[in-house]
Amino acid sequence: MTEKQLHTSLFASRISKTQIDILVGQLEKEPELAEVLFQYVLQEDKEGTFNASWTFDHLMRKQLHYLLPFMETFTNRLSQLQSESCIRPIAHVCEMVCEAYFKKKDPTFLKTVTNNQLEKIMTACFDWLIGPMNIAPKVFAMSSLYYLGFKFDWVHPELKQVLEDNYPTGTSGYRNRAKKTLDKLARLGV
């Protein structure tokens, strides 16, 4: 697959889940196109579409390590995202990065991802958690922040405070995930 073919696939029309799966299968053979795909996510963010962001999320589910060569670009752009259609899948990618780093302790992620990059993920996640997002980005942000609290000791108390403050007015999905996260924090003594 070439960059031009990728562009045509993403921007011809809205793509289905089946088409996403086919496209991801092709992209798995072309790791160098992962960064190009992310640039299309940034373009979509301005246009309010989401074919690239949906495809990027699905590619990262299968080949998260494709993100590492452009991790700095990825984390630098998190705070600039505006469209929830793009933020949702990117928040999911952030959660996967945090799981790879903290839960799975993947040696490649531990060696490659810097504290500065983790701080940028943390900042974006707090913004998404307290901002006017729907539930999905908030849930992904909660999970990411829970993991990030193992590196940055002030995060767990702050996360707890935000969850407790927003719990009464949150949706049932928000309250469900917030309760699970608060229970985990309580087990840690936070």
Q: Where are the domains of the chain?
A: 3-187
- CB-CB contact of 137 with 87 (8 Å): yes
Q: What is the pLDDT of residue 45?
A: 87
- CB-CB contact of 71 with 35 (8 Å): no
Q: What is the pLDDT of residue 81?
A: 95
CA distance 121 to 116: 9
At 113-138, the pLDDT tens digits run 999 999 999 999 999 999 988 899 99
Q: What is the pLDDT of residue 47?
A: 83
Instruction: Calculate the dihedral angle through the C-alpha atoms of 132, 182, 124, 90, rounding to the nearest 10 degrees.
Output: -80
With a cut of 70, which residues of the chain have pLDDT below it? none
In the chain, what is the greatest distance between 2 CA atoms, to the nearest angstrom? 53
Q: What is the pLDDT of residue 105?
A: 98
Q: What is the pLDDT of residue 13?
A: 83
